[in-house]
Amino acid sequence: MIPGTLYIVATPIGNLEDITLRAVRILGQVAAIACEDTRQTLKLLNRLNLKKPLISYFQPWEGKKIPEILSVLLGGRDVALVSDAGTPGISDPGYRLVVEAIRNGIMVTPIPGPNAAAAALSASGLSTHRFLFIGFPPPKTEGVRNLLLGLREEEGTLIVYLPARRLEAFLGSVLECLGDRFVVIARELTKIHEEFLRDTAANFLKTKGIHGLKGEVTLLIQGKTRKKPAIQKE
């Protein structure tokens, strides 16, 4: 029997209108959808007037669901993998499933779409010619320091996902390990209250302009350079 296809489907990061026509078609034709939070995925499916069997696939228990998903695929039926928001496998569950699918001779096909890192970078005003996606940094201060110290010579824009409650401490580590870099804080991307905050790490810490921010933010840090970014005020 010919195995089905595992589709890696990018879904909206906020605004539900940000989904491709191809993604809608694929979600409508697969036999099942593997997702993080079934409640989140149901909101999207209801918006699209779709009804599909859902397989809960989330960290840290994703490994237990892989045999079930592989069984569907090896039975000749297609499965779509989605995350709560954005592109699966990019700081979201997905990597392990993709690896096991490839090992079992299953075709893996990406259905590209929204991604918070790319969206934030495109509107940040920082260099887009070279960038390094870090994802979520280590939870402890020492781990953060070691990470940043290893990136001191990186010339590309650094992109980090961060809970807003950790922002002040993280910027303190940036100032300590990288110097007073220009940074951009992107929050509520594609939503009504979308916001881009642009300043140096020292100024953000000095003015407390980040106090009270909630949710998750995408933080962009200027790479090592002698030049000021074009968007920085004199």
Task: Spell out the SS3 assignment of the chain.
Answer: CCCCEEEEECECCCCCCCCCHHHHHHHHHCCEEEECCHHHHHHHHHHCCCCCCEEECCCCCHHHHHHHHHHHHHCCCCEEECCCCECCCCCCCCHHHHHHHHHCCCEEEEECCCCHHHHHHHHHCCCCCCEEEEECCCCCHHHHHHHHHCCCCCCCEEEEEEEHHHHHHHHHHHHHHHCCCEEEEEECCCCCCCEEEEEEHHHHHHHCCCCCCCCEEEEEECCCCCCCCCCCCC
For residue 82, count other CB atoms closer than 10 A to its CB: 28
Q: What backbone phi and psi angles, to 5 degrees, belong to 73?
A: -65, -45
Q: Per-residue b/e over 87-104, b at no fewer than 16 CB within 10 Å?
A: bbbbbbbbeebbebbeee
Query: How far apart, in whole angstroms, are the C-alpha atoms of residue 80 and residue 78?
Result: 7
Assigned fold of 5-111: Cobalt-precorrin-4 Transmethylase; domain 1 (3.40.1010)
CA-based max dimension of the chain: 66
User: Could you state, in order of their start, the residue ranges of all structural domains in the chain?
Assistant: 5-111, 116-221
Q: Is the pLDDT of residue 209 over 80?
A: no
Strand pairing category for 54-56 and 131-135: unpaired
pLDDT at 177: 98
Integer-rounded Cα radius of gyration of the chain: 20
pTM strictly above 0.75: yes
- Residue 208 pLDDT exceeds 80: no
pLDDT range class, residue 234, cuts 50, 70, 90? low
pLDDT at 212: 84
Summarised one tens digit per residue, pLDDT across range 90-101 is 999 999 999 999
Convert the pLDDT of each residue in 84-142 to its tens digit.
999 999 999 999 999 999 999 999 999 999 999 999 999 999 999 999 999 999 999 99
Contact indicator for 141, 173 with CB cutoff of 8 Å:
yes
**CATH class of segment(s) 116-221:** alpha beta
Distance CA 37, CA 128 (A): 32
